[in-house]
Amino acid sequence: MAQKTYVGVKAGGHASSVFIEHTIFNLNVNTTFLPGANGGVFLKYLPKPGDSFLNSGIQLGVNYVQKGWKQTFLTDEPSYTARMNYLEIPLEGIGYFGGKNKYFISAGFYTEFLIDTDLDRTPNVDNLGGSDFYTYDPARDNQFGYGGRIGGGTFRDLSIGTFQLEGFFSYSFSNFIDPGDLTTETPDLSNHWVVGFTVGYMVSLGGNRDNE
């Protein structure tokens, strides 16, 4: 395989949720998974491989990612759903190996910008059975974030292009809730996490493909 630069598109599905806690106070927030979709464009650069088993490259892109969570309560109060849709810009290192079917692992960081939200009506706080309730507040909370992403999968060059299948996990290191003063019970830990898959299609810039 010679040096390759690919440009591609990808889309997939995932499950997302959040970690909401407070460093000092004990909060009772029971969150569960929420299904979502993701998609984007990306550029993958793979230098000419050396003699080692594992070769390396880099990948960057722009993704649209639906994040969110569902909170359930111990009473007859309906569950609460929050969706937060982000524009995500990842930069990842890649290690890959293989012949016709190439296998890869990737790891890196991303920044994200909140595009819009879809939040359920605030539940009746007197009917939560001892649960605490916190959600995104656009007047208080953060629209910018950052985190880490790891992935793995396979791709193969064909005469009509290159196809890729990937599984991934991402976790936001930044908090989407702004707690202000730690003396309040507003959570100072509020992190999105996502586990899912993508299916991608790439073309090689320059049109020089091989079929090792």
Residue 208 has pLDDT above 60, yes or no: no
**β partners of residue 190:** 20
What are the extents of the domains in the chain? Answer: 4-204
Residue of 182, 185, 192 whose CA lies nearest to 142: 192
In this predicted structure, what is the pLDDT of residue 50? Answer: 67
Q: Which CATH class is domain 4-204?
A: mainly beta
Could you tell me how many residues make up the chain? 212
Give the tens place of pLDDT for each residue, 37-96: 999 999 999 998 766 778 999 999 999 999 999 999 999 999 999 999 999 999 999 999
Separation of alpha carbons 136 and 147, rounded Å: 18
Give the tens place of pLDDT for each residue, 133-150: 999 999 999 999 999 999
Show contacts of 120-128: CB within 8 Å, 24+ apart. Answer: 120/80, 120/81, 120/82, 122/80, 123/73, 123/77, 123/78, 123/80, 124/77, 127/73, 127/75, 127/76, 127/77, 128/73, 128/74, 128/75, 128/77
In this predicted structure, what is the pLDDT of residue 104? Answer: 97
Q: Which residue has the tokens 């810039």?
A: 205
pTM: 0.90
Give the tens place of pLDDT for each residue, 97-126: 988 899 999 999 999 999 999 999 999 999
